[in-house]
Structure 1
Amino acid sequence: MTKEVTRHINPTVERVLWAKAGGRCQFKGCNRLLYHSAVTLEAVNISEKAHIYSFSEDGPRGWSDILRRKPDQLNNIDNLMLMCHDCHKTIDQDKDGSKYSADLLRGWKTEHELRIKIVTGIDPKNKTHVVFYGANIGDQKSPLQKDETYQAIFPHRYPAEENPIMLSMSSSHKDKDEPYWGTEQQHLQRIFQQRIEHRIEENSPAHFTVFALAPMPLLIQLGALFTDKISVDVRQPIREPKTWEWQAEPELFHFIVTEPTTNHKNPVLIMSLTAKIDHSRVTAIMGEDIDIWEIATEAADQHNDFIRAANQLSLFRQEMRKLIGKISSHAGNSTPLHVFPAMPVSCSIEMGRIRMPKADMPWVIYDQNNTAGKFITSLVIQEQ
């Protein structure tokens, strides 16, 4: 019976296989592009057509009852997977099919082809420029993984470019070092101008998705550079489960705003979102003649993982716009606002985005310096 069927695969079947696989290896976890060399980047076909049920009846995965009756179906699209040489060799070395069974491979094929169908079905208007910004936080580095972040934007968005736009700077300084803040702020402003502004001008309307891990003052500065005039999705690194994908929105979540009872015209804004900032830590720096405004979360929500859904960020922006407006009316637009933050990555960026460059007062941003054991002035954001 095997002599009645050749290994020749109909060109139409091969084209459909390539289309359904998206030109990638269908072995789960590989996903390798099969139309160019990863080394030379030259256009080359490195694909192989792997049989789910083996071409030979006594091969690694044998034949099903249907194939014994109709062996001419061996080369049908339902029995083929597109694979790279290494993965094809891997499944065929499993001689008894115990590790890579036909049922397992069929499941991988279905899963891969469904993903390709969903991704290629995204509206072309929904492309986004993925932006990475990382900076040293204390003694920790801030790695950002392309695969994790790109997965988080599907199926609502797709990346406009193969690789993210990198705004990070490789610096030997840490946030406890005196030169750190000025160097990082200048770098961020310069590289934003180089890598972001022309994309805004060339792609109207442009959309960006921001993934960042950096100290709060620099994240506020990043948000201030984008402003809320540009369409930006700001993502939050969620720790449990570890992901950048949005989770279910918490019930009854809200922010608590406290206004000052004094009128010294020296405004201070305390951001007690991930932790409660004791006012004595602020008066130790600023003195007693200050007007303290505060935005906080409930005590049970004061942790790094309380932002779980995009709607929470929307609520934060609404509250912050109202709050900054009240502070400006109270103290005047020329009076500096001193900001003491304890808040998540996403809120830090969104706080910067709601800033109105020509209308809002200068912001003096502070940061907790563990070496000094107190808040220190990190950077100032004002109209340039």
Structure 2
Amino acid sequence: MVSEVTRYVPDQVQRELWARAAGRCQFEGHNRLLHTSCVTHESVNTAQKAHIYAFSENGPRGRGPYKGNLESLNDVSNLMLMCYDCHKKIDQAGGADRYPADLLIQWKAQHEQRVEIVTGIASDKKSNVVLYGANIGSEKSPIQYHACVEAMFPQWYPATERPVPVSMTSELIDSSPQYWQTESQHLLKAFQRKILSIIEDEPCKHFSVFALAPQPLLIQLGALLTDKIDVETYQLHREPKGWVWQDCADDFDYIINQPDNFNGKPALIVSLSDHVSPERITRVIGEDTSIWEITLKNPHNDFMQAKQQLSLFRKYLRSLIVEIKRAHGEATPLHIFPVMPVSCAIEFGRARMPKADMPWLIYDHDMETQEFIKAIELKGDLHGVQSK
């Protein structure tokens, strides 16, 4: 039986292998085009068909599940398209330990998934994946790109193979005096450099936003995006873990609480993730305060599960901002105390009308003092962002 098995790979399998790999080396991180010379750029086939499980009985990684099915060794599922150097690397002495079959299978699957994603997108389904993560207290906020892409399907697909990172790696924490100035200015410059360039120069102008950052910065990000740009905002859920939107109860609703009078400084509490007592507000901006609030019957961290909830939040918020402006005047600064999910914070900023709304003074909860501190001021257009 062994003597009847050859290294010959049928043309149909070769075509499928090339198509799955998009003519690129499937070694993780290489991705080199294999139909063009990297020196002269002339058309030339530099590809090799690398076996995951070995064709030879004593080859690297052995024959694994193909021991009793040798005729399947040349199936596309057991082959990777690779350049000569990468093929040699995985098969050299010690290669089986460094590049086991499970790892190569994983690389193959991820590479082919990327190809399928990028090449299978309808023009009206493309979206630029924006990742924004700043430091939250002493915690870092990494965002996994593949988990984000999974949450987009099947409504949206990445416009390109790579995301648009609008993050920074500042070692500052959000209680330090320099934090808000550094992060706010970085966000503004990164937005202008990376996102505005896409809006101005690229055919796809839709954005899918995945973010984990302090709420004043999320509001600023939303204000930069505005509601004039096509944006899909996502929320990271604790249960079930991930960014995929779930369903919510039909009787879900928000509660609006108005102040007894409109004579004081206007303050808006967004108490969706937790209760916020009025005393915490008056300790910061004084007793002469008119407190507005948007809240829930039972505020908690995990309530935001469905897109319908976020849409309803936008509806309530826009009406509320107009009502507050009507009561206090558009020149009066509005003090904002956000305790809400990531997606709400971004959409809060997007609801802002730069030329029509009151100046916004946005506060953040300081972990050291357990009090609210003034963080960011929004006024005017995109360039009217100031940190306090």
- Output the TM-score relative to the length of structure 2: 0.79
Partner of 2:342: 345
Task: Name stretches of at least 5 consecutive residues in structure 2 with no aligned partner.
Answer: none
- 1:288 aligns with 287
Residue 225 (structure 2) pairs with residue 220 (structure 1): no
Cα deviation for residue 148 of structure 1 reads: 2.4
RMSD: 3.8
- Cα deviation, 1:232-261, whole Å, max 9, x if unaligned, reads 111111122321222233442211111222
Q: Partner of 2:275 in structure 1? A: 276
Q: Secondary structure at the match of 1:174?
A: coil
On the 8 A contact 2:227/2:350 being kept in 1, the answer is yes
Change in 2 beyond 3 A, CA 1:124/1:278:
same
Q: Measure the CA separation in 2 of the matches of 1:117 and 1:245.
A: 20
Instruction: Answer with 321-330 or 170-179: which moved more.
Output: 170-179
1:34-61 deviation per Cα after TM superposition (whole angstroms, max 9, x unaligned): 6459xxx9998565354889788x9642
2:117–2:157 CA contact under 8 A, matched in 1: no
Give the letter for the 1:16 counterpart: E
Output aligned runs, 1:214-253, within 5 Å. 214-253=213-252
Q: CA deviation at 1:188?
A: 1.5
Q: Does 1:13 align with 2:13?
A: yes
Write the deviation string for residues 148-173 of structure 1: whole angstroms up to 9, x where unpaired: 22332233322233332222223232
Aligned to 1:375: 372
1:297-316 to 2 correspondences below 5 Å: 297-299=296-298, 302-316=299-313
Identify which of 355, 359, 369 aligns with 1:358: 355
Structure 1 residue 209 displacement after superposition: 1.3
Tell me how far apart the structure 1 counterparts of residues 134 and 226 of structure 2 sit (CA, whole Å).
Answer: 20
The residue type paired with residue 338 of structure 1 is H
Match of 1:327 in 2: 324
Which stretch shifts more, 185-194 or 108-117? 108-117
Distance 1:328 1:230 in 2: 24
Paired residues of 2:258 and 2:293 also in contact (CA < 8 A)? yes
**Residue identity in the other structure for 1:209:** S
Secondary structure in 2 matching 1:9: coil
Residue 257 of structure 1 aligns to a residue whose secondary structure is strand
Other-structure match for 2:172: 173
Shift of 1:217: 0.6
AA aligned to 1:334 is: A
Range 213-222 or range 264-273, more displaced: 264-273
Q: 1:17 to 1:240 in 2, by over 3 A?
A: same
Question: Which whole-Å CA distance do the structure 1 matches of 2:217 and 2:273 have between them?
Answer: 17
Kept in 1, the 8 Å contact 2:234–2:243? The answer is yes
- 1:21 Cα shift? 5.4
1:18-45 superposed Cα distances (whole Å, 9 cap, x missing partner):
324556899xxx97766459xxx99985
C-alpha contact (below 8 Å) 1:53/1:62 kept by paired residues: no
Q: CA deviation at 1:296?
A: 0.5
- After TM superposition, list the pairs within 5 Å mapping 1:72-221 onto structure 2: 81-82=79-80, 85=87, 120-203=119-202, 206-221=205-220
Between the aligned partners of 1:162 and 1:117, the Cα distance in structure 2 is 10
CA separation of 1:93 and 1:63: change in aligned 2, threshold 3 A:
farther
1:298/1:23 CA distance change after superposition, 3 Å: farther
Aligned length: 361
Distance 2:109 2:218 in 1: 41
Greater mean deviation of Cα atoms: 370-379 or 11-20: 11-20
> Could you give the per-residue CA deviations for residues 183-235 of structure 1, whole angstroms, max 9, x where no partner exists?
22222212211111121112356011112111111110110000010011111
Q: Distance in 2 between matches of 1:382 and 1:25?
A: 50
1:48 is aligned to 49
Which amino acid letter does the alignment assign opposite residue 196 of structure 1? Answer: I
Which sits farther off after the overlay, 201-210 or 186-195? 201-210
Query: C-alpha displacement at 1:358, in angstroms?
Result: 0.2
Query: 2: CA distance between counterparts of 1:307 and 1:372?
Result: 28
Where 1:48 maps in the other structure, the secondary structure is strand
Q: Deviations over 1:321-371 (max 9, x none)?
A: 111111111111111111111011111111000100000000111111132
| CA shift in 2, pair 1:355/1:53, >3 Å | same
Structure 1 runs not aligned, ≥5 long: none
Asked whether the equivalents of residues 90 and 96 of structure 2 are also in contact (C-alpha less than 8 Å), the reply is no
SS of aligned partner of 1:196: helix
8 Å CA contact 2:209, 2:232 repeated in 1 = yes
